[in-house]
Amino acid sequence: MALARVRVIDLETAGTLATDVCEIGWQDVVQTAGGDWAVDAERGALFVNPGRPISPATMAIHHILDEQVAGAPFWKAAAPSVLRPPGGVLALAAHRAAFEQRFCTPALSGGAAWICTWKCAMRLWPDLQSFSNQMLRYQRMPAGLDHATGLPAHRAMPDAYVTAHHLRDMLNTASVEQLLAWSREPGLYPRVPRGPHRGAAWAALDLEALTALARERDVDVRFSAEVELRRRGEAVGRPVARPGEPTLL
């Protein structure tokens, strides 16, 4: 019987267009016969031809050159074999998976569900200072993570390899179903991420500040503030009168 598998995906891109992928990396996390989850030996990376020059801004991040991808397959040809491996997957996963999902459309992935390790990290390890992939790596120091295999950062396979160690520990703490449920919701920041109240616990904010944050354009900030409003029994979206102002309520 085949082992349950979640495949971690990481992309490097030439820009923001739907076919702008220039590298895809993957790392499998599998369930062992004993029920625990482990980082598997199955990993790899493929160059992808984005069909146009790689932008200097993205080249400065991943250092992939146009000549390295010139003979590679285009995205729609390269993606299915990675996103839909023989035997299938329980889910695909990525750190800040919304980025990968912009390129790994349901048509290419076979409609696979996605786990976002960024969102799940904030739920499971809220006391950590930061939740980027590399900061999680050095704050947590996951067991078994080979330092050299996880380098260089900002390349597809090393980043997928690092993410997979976070995912393994998440799957050994919470169920696949729970991680998928958290991933379907916006990110729940454990503290205010920016602005004048940066670093403050949501519970420490007064009602006016909390309500203002619940109107933020950033969906993750807005969701986090709304969760605290609901915890207090406040109606989400209700305007808060300033001291001395009349209210219609």
Q: Indicate if 82 and 107 belong to the same structural domain.
A: yes
Q: With contact defined as beta carbons under 8 Å apart, do 97 and 116 qualify?
A: yes
Q: Indicate if 130 and 197 belong to the same structural domain.
A: no
Q: Indicate if 171 and 233 belong to the same structural domain.
A: no
Q: With contact defined as beta carbons under 8 Å apart, do 38 and 168 qualify?
A: yes
Asked if the model's pLDDT at residue 248 lies above 80, the reply is no
Asked if the model's pLDDT at residue 42 lies above 50, the reply is yes
Q: Indicate if 203 and 180 belong to the same structural domain.
A: no
What are 73-130's pLDDT values in tens digits? Answer: 999 999 999 999 999 999 999 999 999 999 999 999 999 999 999 999 999 999 999 9
What are 12-35's pLDDT values in tens digits? Answer: 999 989 999 999 999 999 999 999
In DSSP terms, 148 is beta-bridged to none
Query: Of 134, 157, 184, which closes a domain?
Result: 184
Query: Of 143, 163, 184, which closes a domain?
Result: 184
Tokens (6 digits) for 118: 């960024």
Q: Is the dihedral of CA 207, 210, 214, 215 positive or negative?
A: positive
Q: What is the pLDDT of residue 245?
A: 42
What are 140-152's pLDDT values in tens digits? Answer: 999 999 999 999 9
pTM over 0.85: yes
Q: What is the pLDDT of residue 100?
A: 98
Q: Indicate if 109 and 29 belong to the same structural domain.
A: yes
In the block, residue with structure tokens 């380098």 = 151
Q: Tell me the pLDDT band of 242, cut-offs 50, 70 and 90.
A: very low
The CATH number of whichever domain residue 84 belongs to comes to 3.30.420.10
Q: Indicate if 216 and 130 belong to the same structural domain.
A: no
Lowest mean pLDDT: which of 161-170, 173-182, 228-237?
Answer: 228-237
Q: Indicate if 131 and 206 belong to the same structural domain.
A: no
**Percent of the chain predicted with pLDDT > 90:** 92
Q: Is the dihedral of CA 11, 15, 17, 21 positive or negative?
A: negative
**CA 101 – CA 83 distance, rounded (Å):** 11
Q: What is the pLDDT of residue 235?
A: 87
Tokens (6 digits) for 24: 């895809």
Q: Indicate if 123 and 202 belong to the same structural domain.
A: no
Domain that holds residue 84: 5-184
Q: Indicate if 23 and 140 belong to the same structural domain.
A: yes
Q: What is the pLDDT of residue 247?
A: 40
Q: Indicate if 140 and 239 belong to the same structural domain.
A: no
Asked if the model's pLDDT at residue 220 lies above 90, the reply is yes
Q: Which has the higher per-residue pLDDT, 236 or 155?
A: 155
Query: Of 153, 184, 215, which closes a domain?
Result: 184
Q: Indicate if 235 and 247 belong to the same structural domain.
A: yes
Q: With contact defined as beta carbons under 8 Å apart, do 82 and 37 qualify?
A: no
Q: Indicate if 113 and 218 belong to the same structural domain.
A: no
Q: Give how many domains the chain has, as a whole number.
A: 2
**Percent of the chain predicted with pLDDT > 70:** 94
